[in-house]
A and B are shown apart, each in its own frame.
Chain A
Amino acid sequence: MHLVQREKHLEVQTPEYKNIAIVGIGNILQKDDGIGVTLIKYLEAAYTFPSHVQLIDGGTSGVALQSQIMHKDFLIIIDALSISDTPGTVHILNGTSLLGQSSDIKLSPHQISFFDLLQFMALEKIAPKKIMIMGIVPKDVGCGVELSEPVKKSIEIAANQIITQLKQAGIRIEKSTEKILPNYWWKHKK
């Protein structure tokens, strides 16, 4: 009896994904474009993640992330999403189905995007099995290190959505016991 119960318990606790990467993409020097990296820093401070969940500041160079995301079971990409919608709105997109979309003529390496890398990796069968994109609508991507008010407000909402997703997948995530301030190093002047 005990044994059966224990097995059941184990089944629920077995995570659906053995390894997960959460990547924040964007430029912290361009205001709301820095939301992806900001969220990574926020999550790092607010929660404790198990060792098979990696949080990655992808910064401005998604193409350099190949070895860190290959063969992952689940990849979450956080980025500013340029569509016309209310700033601060959080969108969840199924990245796996978006991968089939074509990319256009490229004139500069800036256009070999993170997305192209994922398409390449899919062709070589080393891409993450499941991809989710979390896009936050920016208000201002001009030069500067501060987020706009509506995007600032989206931090907690977006973080909660990610945590809920991961918990549903059976991953143990604890809230940090001490209050740690996120390391937004780019906002402070030494």
Chain B
Amino acid sequence: MKKIITIDPVTRIEGHLRVDIAVANGKVTDAWSSGTMFRGIENILIGRHPGEAWTFTQRFCGVCTTVHAIASVRAVENALNLEVPLNAQMIRNLLIAGHAIFDHISHFYHLSALDWVDVASAAKADPAAAAKVAQIISPEWERNSVAEFKSVKEKIKGVLNSGQLGIFNNGYWGHKALRLTPELNLMAVAHYLQALEYQRKINEVVALLGGKCPHIQNLAVGGVANPIDLNEEASINMTSLLKVKSYFEAVRGFVQNAYFNDVCAIMSQYMPWAEYGKGVNDFLAVPEFPTDTAGKHFTMRAGTVIENEVIDIRGFNDSYVEDNISESIAKSWYDGDWDLHPYHETTDPKPGEFDPKGKYSWVKSPRFNGKRMQVGPAAQVLSSYMLSDQLTVKYVKKFADVVNAVGRATNVSSASNLTVEGLVKALPSTLGRHAARVIRCAAIQDMALSHWKILVENIGTGDTTIYNPPEYPKGECQGVGMHEAPRGALTHWIVIENGKIKNYQAVVPSTWNLCPRDDKGLLGPTEAALIDNPIVDSKQPLEALRTLHSFDPCMSCAIHAFSPEGKTLGSANARV
């Protein structure tokens, strides 16, 4: 047996994911998504004070830290029917925005880009020709210069010649399914490296407002703990507010030009992937960025799209969410065979064997009124677009325009003819999900600047309130906290009894997307999205990785491909 020491502090944090696919005639014919590690982390919260739950929940996960803190305080506020001062809503919104932009940039460049971009090919590019192409794609991005591309090319060659491939070792170099020109590859690799810098800059928003990063310290049930005093150095004052604004502005150019247009360029060159990977056709997203104290009005409206009909979720108190979500354990390794509301769920693990016809995952199956739902930016952009959300519509149109322009410049007729309606239809697809993510990211940037202004103007009126003190009643109360996180609709469910936590459940986006089959045998969203994906080389199932990555799964995972006879064709084990 091979013994490898792996120093990897993050892989073991949140359950592992394993995906098995059956391949016949160069296509995926069946798929099983399985969470292979039991989590019972919610149990730690039972008996604790609801006011401190958020300090624990943000350590559920190594990626989605801030989001679990936000959902947790909202759950308690919902249970107590407690409003949040406007300043606190805005400070939270800016934090959410900073975290989301950080997360989307990291996900696209550092996790997904090498599914489409060939680093080895970039080393053969002509920097002058690359700068010329980049001029057409992103005319406003000042870092697309010949000098920059030359230096990136040298850097790549240095890595290749050293034999120590490090971060670039992840890619399937030279894979037949990789089809960008060397020049487009070089442009994308340049942005891949630049992403590190912008990811760092936007994280400063979280560090400054959150008081600490990772794991923010400024939240409180009922508001935030950032004192506002324009004359006090240690408080939120004009200097710190201007700094926050400058961080958002510093990454704006990169997101609007490099990230946004890179996704457009990739879609234009891989148009069939705007068809593959559709998955489940019903969607759930929750509204985000509240603009009032009660959480009734939002900058990004959202809701469900079921059988092509959109239903608006009208605020944090809308019982539409509370009444319809349940979780099933039909195919999951838990004792029993129930379908229960999160308030009433139990977590009694019953380990078993991987049985593709029976139970095969630790992931439960969340349902909305009994239906499987796809969550994530595709669901958010789709529902927001159908609700005529202004920012979403603006960037959906811009995305189609840029794809058209790149299509024309590179003679790809399917790209130059892509309509806005065509793009909206393609959002739930392997590349559509990346498109939706960057559309959301760009819209969040606009939102952040307008909410910053609301905050400054509100402080200007003399309002420095940041907190409404909670009162915990005798007896029992319960609440749901919703948050449209980078990976999709997140809900935390809390039952409070005499001021202590009686039950706590987090229904996370990856549970919706990566759940196993249901009792009727209907595939989960990711499983369904993998069906019919082409696999040109079964030893290197790059295409399956593309579809998996498009869901931005927040679990560490390994994918095994096997033929219908059960013979292992190839595996891409994540870590030994």
Contact = CB atoms under 8 A, between A and B. Distances in A.
B574 A104 contact: yes
Interface in B232-262: none
Contacts of B559: 107
A103 B200 contact: no
A61 B169 contact: no
A1 B576 CA distance: 62
B345 interface: no
Interface stretch (B76-84, B105-113, B529-537): B105-113
Contacts of A66: 196, 199-200, 203
B63 A61 contact: yes
B9 interface: yes
B386 interface: no
Contacts of A83: 5
A28 interface: yes
Contacts of B221: none
Interface string B36-76: 00011101100111011001100111110100000000000
Nearest to A95: B7
Contacts of B409: none
Contacts of B556: 107-108, 110-111
B107 A109 contact: yes
A81 interface: yes
A121 B197 CA distance: 10
A82 B62 CA distance: 17
Contacts of B203: 64, 66-67
A150 interface: no
Given A106-B170, A107-B549, A124-B196, A115 B8 contact: yes
Contacts of B10: 60-63, 110-114
B436 interface: no
A21 interface: no
Interface in B165-193: 165-167, 169-170, 193
Interface string A151-165: 000000000000000
Contacts of A114: 9-10
Interface string A127-142: 0000001010000010
A145 B43 CA distance: 11
A190 B165 CA distance: 49
Interface in A20-37: 25-30, 33, 36
Given A60-B61, A123-B155, A190-B49, A107 B548 contact: yes
B545 A81 contact: no
Contact of B166 (A30, A103, A190): A103
A180 to B, nearest CB: 20
B575 A111 contact: yes
Interface string B546-567: 0011001111111100000000
Contacts of A99: 166
B44 A123 contact: no
Contacts of A141: 12
Contacts of B13: 27, 30, 33, 60, 110
A44 to B, nearest CB: 14
Contacts of A173: none
A90 to B, nearest CB: 14
A64 B206 CA distance: 10
Tier of interface size on chain A: 35 or more
B573 interface: yes
A98 B7 contact: yes
A114 B9 CA distance: 7
A59 interface: yes
A47 B566 CA distance: 58
A64 B65 contact: yes
Contact of B62 (A62, A70, A80, A105): A62
B574 to A, nearest CB: 6
Nearest to B575: A104
Contact of A113 (B9, B19, B106, B214): B9
Contact of B59 (A29, A103, A106, A122): A29
Contacts of A57: 212, 215
B118 interface: no
Contact of A115 (B7, B14, B61, B159): B7
A115 B7 CA distance: 8
B80 to A, nearest CB: 17
Given A63-B106, A190-B52, A100 B164 contact: yes
B574 A105 contact: yes
A102 interface: yes
A144 B47 contact: no
Nearest to A189: B48
Given A109-B106, A124-B193, A60 B214 contact: yes
B213 interface: yes
Contacts of A120: 110, 167, 193, 196
B288 interface: no
A38 interface: no
B337 to A, nearest CB: 24
A122 B155 CA distance: 11
A105 B545 contact: yes
A140 B107 CA distance: 31
Nearest to A112: B110
Contacts of A61: 10, 62-63, 65, 214-215
Contact of B9 (A25, A64, A67, A124): A25
A108 B166 contact: no
Contacts of B159: 123
Residue among B63, B552, B573 having the largest count of chain A Cβ atoms under 10 Å: B63
Given A103-B166, A108-B17, A190-B48, A60 B59 contact: yes
15 contacts: A27-B62, A62-B10, A105-B545, A107-B558, A111-B11, A113-B8, A113-B11, A119-B167, A124-B193, A133-B7, A143-B39, A143-B44, A186-B55, A186-B56, A190-B48
Interface of A: 25-30, 33, 36, 57-67, 70, 79-83, 93, 98-116, 119-124, 133, 135, 141, 143-145, 185-186, 189-190
User: Which 5 pairs show the lowest CB-CB distances between chains A and B?
Assistant: A61-B214, A102-B169, A60-B62, A100-B164, A64-B214
Given A29-B44, A111-B11, 19 more contacts: A27-B59, A29-B59, A60-B10, A62-B62, A64-B214, A79-B7, A100-B166, A103-B167, A106-B170, A107-B553, A107-B574, A108-B557, A109-B103, A109-B111, A111-B575, A112-B111, A122-B166, A141-B12, A143-B39
